[in-house]
Amino acid sequence: MTKRLLYIALISVVTLLKLTAQESKNSATDTFEFVFLTDIHLQPEMNAPQGFQMAIDHVNQLKPDFVLTGGDLVFDAMRGNQSRCDTLFSLYKNMIKGFRMPVYHCLGNHDLFAIYDESPEKESHPDYKYGMFERYLGKTYYSFNHKGWHFIVLNSLDVTADKKYRGYFHQEQLSWLKQDLEMVDKSIPIVLVSHIPMINSRTQVTGGSGNSNVENAFEVFKMTEKYNLKLILQGHIHWKEYGFVNDRFHYITGGSIAGNGWKGRRHNTKEGFVRIKVTGDEFSWEYMDHGWEKERLRKANPVN
């Protein structure tokens, strides 16, 4: 290589490095919004489509960049038959066309197909467990980037030998997560989405029990220890909660769109969703009531 060509090559490399640094600087000052909707429990009954449409309309007015869901999109596939569950997922898929921005889906326990003994379908059914969700909505775990942030949607569900669900990150997914993280710069803010909470206080506050946490969430916490894990978004328990763990990461348990099965509040948490505003590598949030509680009470007590 001649000295002139070597000089040109060095100039090109320096220019590329400057552009990359400028892009990083730009992404660090980006501002955007997204919303987190969890536990929709969509069904044809209970005026659920009307309540969900109110949430969709409210989100569209806010004009976020995208929507993240937190699982339990429909109610209920665990006990359902093929016809009923196709109806549920078709209803959900048709209704989300009303969003004017992209929607990213997370799997919930009520979205697992035919896992309970009472279901008429068998384990040999091609839609069993994750199959119906995948057929309608795609992968149960994946990642994407947006304006300098890395979002990872996880599948927090598995099925036990006695045909019950449990909160668990299976090993194939953990192997994928390790590979995904290896492609992420350690300075990039990361958001994890999980239906079953990775951490929460509900059992301590209420004395409840059951599948309130992912059994092996510690494996993900350990895996992300040297990364810029900024926020965990989670659902399942219809409980609104915020925490900041050891100056390391934040978590938000996002309440519920459906409340107590579209019948009112659960744990005194209003039906609603989380609005998140991002500036650079920081965020702020608020819980937003989409108005269904007032409408539900109006329907129950109409003015003559």
CB-based contact 177:214 (threshold 8 Å): no
- CB atoms closer than 10 angstroms to residue 276: 20
Structure tokens at 36: 């987190």
pTM across the whole model: 0.90
**Which residues in the chain land under pLDDT 50?**
1, 5-26
Instruction: Write down the domain spans for the chain.
Output: 31-300
Count Cβ atoms within 10 A of the Cβ of residue 85 and give its class: 0-12 exposed, 13-18 middle, 19 or more buried.
buried
pLDDT value of position 145: 98
State yes or no: cis peptide before 158, omega within 30 of 0: no
User: Domain 31-300 belongs to what topology?
Assistant: Purple Acid Phosphatase; chain A, domain 2 (3.60.21)
DSSP states of 98-147: G-SS-EE----GGGSBS-STTSSS-TTSTTTBTHHHHHHH--SSEEEEET
User: Which pLDDT tens digit goes with each residue over 34-79?
Assistant: 999 999 999 999 999 999 999 999 999 999 999 999 999 999 999 9
Separation of alpha carbons 237 and 232, rounded Å: 15
Separation of alpha carbons 142 and 104, rounded Å: 10
